[in-house]
Structure 1
Amino acid sequence: MRKRWIFTAVGAVAGGTIAYMMKDEDKRKMAMDKAKSIQANFTSKDDMPIQEAGKPEVSDLENAKMVSEGSQFGVKYYNELTEKEREILERSNS
């Protein structure tokens, strides 16, 4: 029972603080810009080199070194991913 009151109080304080900060238009714009940049960081998929995972010889020295030491995680992941894509294409074509 006490936990519910604590969570309610914390939520109310956080809501009040946010409402107070959003009164000023400059702060509101700064907060919206910050929120958009954080969202862009989470939704960006450009930094995940899926196509390079199965090709350790292509300009990624860290991946090539990892594979040369015996790790096949990147290659296995790439192969599984391309196999799933192939299955999806075959299902959609038939």
Structure 2
Amino acid sequence: MTSGPERSRQAAREAADDPRLYGATLDPVYADHLCGMDVPAGIKRGRRRGEVVLTAAAVAYLQQLPVGWDCHVDAGRRRIYFEGGPHPLNQL
């Protein structure tokens, strides 16, 4: 069985050619945390404070992290979780 981070890396590799982008408006502290992460690649700041834009590969990576980890994305790609609280995630 592979670990959460290894599953995350594999999911990101498989989604590397997916052109979809996702966006979320978060508390600025969460947005800073997400944009400051070394892994996954494909996360940048949006135009407004607290906005983030994620590539499909970044979302795939965050989906495979164990439930309960900060920055986890749900299976439907509709929410991103920080400290257990859900925040809407939308396809752009």
Q: Same fold, TM exceeding 0.5? A: no
Q: TM-score, normalised by structure 1?
A: 0.23
- The structure where strand makes up a greater share of residues is 2
- Of the two, which has the highest radius of gyration? 1
Q: TM-score, normalised by structure 2?
A: 0.23
Greater RCO structure (CA 8 Å; 6+ sep):
2
- The structure where helix makes up a greater share of residues is 1
